[in-house]
Amino acid sequence: MESQEKDHVVGIDIGGQTIKLGVVDARGEVLAQKVIKTSDDPSPEVVVSEIAEAVKTLITESDMKGRIRGVGVGAPNGNYYTGTIAFAPNLSWASHGSVEFSKMLSKALGGIPVSLTNDANAAAVGEMTYGVAKGMKHFIMITLGTGVGSGIVINGEVLYGSDGFAGELGHTCAVRHNGRMCGCGKTGCLEAYASAIGVARTAREWLEMSDAPSSLRNVPEITSKDVYEAASQGDELAKKVFEFTGRILGEKLADFIEFSAPEAIVLFGGLARAKEFLYEPTLKAMNENVLPLWKNKVKILFSQLKESDAAILGASALAWEL
């Protein structure tokens, strides 16, 4: 069995709630997958061994023993250079320090090589390998989820910068004065506005500040999904929340274009599902705020990858480089 070609990889997406694992072939087919709950155990050793067990089970069940070339991992605050996950607020076992995740997981898997990056960079690699950015050398991936992440691709490669942490566009400043407090400790970050949490917060603030009628007034704990559903049913206030969100996002996209002159911006993640409400205001604000030379030239694309596969695909694509 050991002599078989190592023509498959494993992708692992580590999130605050769940960990998704999948076996992927060279054409980007997810042949088998598995979801486990993200452990709240505070010990990295325990968590790594849980993940390793899940990987081994998946490999055995899919009859891929000896055929796995490597494992790619996307994780919050994952560092490509060092293979560590450091100070990840949503992961109990990595919130207070730096965990040598790649090394530990590789050891627990009997030496299968492991490559690690942050989740947004993994998404960018997946989009470039299998998605709408296929063939592009210069694009910026923005993940609009609970937070706002980014993966920047330059000359066909993810930008890691001098320390492996480049591409924290969710924490560039969107609102300079009296900006909202962000989870990172700064104020006015893009993430505080253009994330799922930001959208819900905008809706709640506006409901409080105005008397405008809205079906959202009947919702006890408003989430971005509620705002999306209200907008879909024609709720004016909900639609304006997305307009506002798109404007803030588009203004910052203009800045990003002036930095790296990408062919396209690719939007991905839960909030990107509100394409019908986000696209126009984002594009408009982007084009209004960018230098004339880029006006109406840079595309805004929405990821077409199936959400459940995309995270696994992105992470797995890393493993091909091992």
- The binding site for a copy of itself (CB under 8 A) comprises 87, 137-138, 152, 154, 159-169, 171-173, 175-176, 184-186, 251, 254-256, 258-263, 289, 291-294
CB of 12 to a copy of itself, least distance (A): 23
Structure token pair of residue 295: 């006006």
Q: Do 190 and 249 form a contact (C-beta atoms < 8 A)?
A: yes
Nearest-approach distance from CB 184 to a copy of itself, in angstroms: 6
Joined together, the tokens standing for residue 50 give 């849980």
Q: In this structure, what is the dihedral angle of CA atoms 284, 171, 134, 83, given to the nearest 10 degrees? A: 180
**Which has the closest alpha carbon to 126: 199, 20, 52, 228?**
20
Type of residue found at 225? K
Mode of pairing for the β-strands spanning 148-154 and 139-144: antiparallel
Between 54 and 184, CB nearer to a copy of itself: 184
The nearest distance, CB 247 to a copy of itself, in angstroms, is 11
Eight-class DSSP state of 219: -
Question: Is the Cβ–Cβ distance between 264 and 232 less than 8 Å?
Answer: no
Residue in the structure block whose two tokens are 């998605």: 131
153 vs 36, 82, 127, 138, 209, CA distance in Å?
30, 20, 10, 5, 40
Tokens encoding 190? 């893009």
**Complex with a copy of itself: residue 297 or 306, whichever CB lies closer:** 297
Closest distance of CB 154 from a copy of itself, Å: 6
Residue nearer to a copy of itself on the CB measure, 77 or 102: 77
Q: Which is nearer to a copy of itself, 32 or 159 (CB)?
A: 159
Q: Which is nearer to a copy of itself, 61 or 258 (CB)?
A: 258
Q: How far is the CB of 292 from a copy of itself (least distance, A)?
A: 6
Q: For a copy of itself, give the closer residue by CB, 65 or 137.
A: 137
Collect all residues with Cβ–Cβ distance below 8 Å to 107 and sequence separation of at least 6: none
- Distance between alpha carbon 108 and the CA centroid of its chain, in Å? 26
Q: SS3 of 195, please?
A: coil
Cα separations (Å) of 269 from 35, 173, 307?
A: 18, 21, 8
138 or 204, CB closer to a copy of itself?
138
Shortest spacing between CB 297 and a copy of itself, in angstroms:
8
Q: Considering the complex, state which of residue 50 and residue 168 has its C-beta at the smaller distance from a copy of itself.
A: 168
Minimum CB distance to a copy of itself, residue 265 (Å): 12
The answer to whether 224 touches 270, Cβ cutoff 8 Å, is yes
Q: What minimum distance in Å lies between the beta carbon of 36 and a copy of itself?
A: 29
Q: Which is nearer to a copy of itself, 1 or 293 (CB)?
A: 293
Using an 8 Å Cβ cutoff, are 238 and 276 in contact?
A: no
Alpha carbon 34 to its chain's center: 19
Q: How far is the CB of 205 from a copy of itself (least distance, A)?
A: 18
